[in-house]
């Protein structure tokens, strides 16, 4: 009881001390100023938020936050390495040049193509690539290279266009040749062969060829001399006269034969 009175007496003495009174007055003025500026309210709200977070931090959440903090520390350590810093600088430079956007668009297109590619399409593309590979092997053949050069020369000379037009003409004739026309041409060819294949006409053709061969040999060994005098000398030759008379008779008979065939 006596100790309580002594403590109260000491507290009263301290409170009655002018220095204590000045300190309390300054503290009250400072708190009033903080209250007026709104700092006190913010302080109390922060204290309440800290208390709420402290009350809501269960052991599970603390462990989870600790694991997340550990992962973030590892990521921060990796990011602080010189290699990552150099990569970030290069990525920043790519972003400045605008190539990063193009890279993202390219990856989007590739992703779209991969997602839209079905199994059948992959098999078909593989078959096409195999055919292209075979064509490439054929094109690498030296003979194929020589053929390409020949085609290029034909194109330069203009003969390739002529061959193309000729192929169109042959295709047109092939398509236009009906069965009846083929039979008619075959009959005409057969009849012509039968007429030509007669022994009499064969002898005439053989004699004509022999005569032409002999004439060519004589012209090589003894070339005829030009001039009117030489021509008149040749005309005096009885063999030449008989030959000319024979050709005249042939011309006369040819006229009669042609007229008779035309009248039929």
Over residues 5-55, the pLDDT tens digits come to 566 676 666 666 777 777 777 777 777 776 777 777 777 777 777 777 666
| CA torsion, ordered 153, 156, 162, 163, to nearest 10 deg | 30
Q: Which residues lie below 8 Å from residue 196, measured CB to CB, with a gap of 6+?
A: 202
SS3 content of the chain, % helix, strand, coil (to 5): 90, 0, 10
Cβ-count burial 132-170 (b if 16+ within 10 Å, e if not): eeeeeeeeeeeeeeeeeeeeeeeeeeeeeeeeeeeeeee
User: What local confidence, expressed as pLDDT, does residue 11 receive?
Assistant: 63
Quote the pLDDT of residue 82.
Answer: 76
> How is the chain split into domains, by residue range?
7-50, 131-176, 177-222
pTM over 0.85: no
* Most confident of the following: 1-5, 149-153, 178-182: 149-153
Reported as a single tens digit per residue, the pLDDT across 193-206 is 666 667 776 777 77
Contact present, 62 and 70 (Cβ < 8 Å): no
| Host H or E run for residue 133 | helix 119-139
Torsion of CA 223, 228, 231, 233, to 10 degrees: -110
């Amino acid at each position: 009881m006596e100790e309580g009175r002594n403590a109260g007496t000491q507290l009263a003495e301290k409170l009655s001390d002018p220095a204590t009174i000045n300190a309390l007055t300054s503290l009250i003025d400072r708190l009033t100023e903080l209250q007026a500026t709104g700092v006190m309210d913010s302080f109390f709200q922060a204290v309440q938020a800290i208390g709420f977070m402290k009350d809501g931090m269960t052991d599970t959440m603390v462990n989870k936050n600790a694991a997340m903090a550990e992962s973030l520390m590892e990521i921060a350590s990796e990011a602080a390495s010189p290699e990552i810093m150099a990569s970030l600088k290069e990525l920043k430079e790519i972003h400045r040049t605008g190539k990063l956007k193009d890279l993202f668009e390219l990856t989007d297109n590739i992703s779209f193509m991969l997602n839209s590619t079905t199994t059948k399409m992959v098999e078909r593309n593989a078959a096409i690539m195999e055919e292209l590979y075979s064509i490439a092997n054929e094109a690498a053949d030296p003979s194929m290279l020589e053929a390409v050069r020949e085609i290029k020369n034909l194109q330069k000379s203009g003969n390739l266009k002529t061959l193309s037009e000729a192929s169109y003409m042959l295709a047109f004739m092939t398509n236009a040749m009906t069965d009846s026309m083929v039979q008619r041409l075959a009959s005409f060819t057969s009849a012509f062969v039968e007429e030509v294949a007669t022994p009499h006409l064969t002898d005439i053709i053989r004699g004509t060829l022999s005569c032409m061969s002999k004439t060519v040999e004589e012209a090589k060994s003894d070339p005829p001399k030009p001039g009117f005098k030489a021509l008149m000398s040749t005309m005096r030759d009885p063999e030449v006269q008989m030959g000319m008379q024979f050709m005249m008779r042939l011309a006369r008979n040819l006229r009669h034969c042609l007229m008779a065939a035309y009248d039929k």
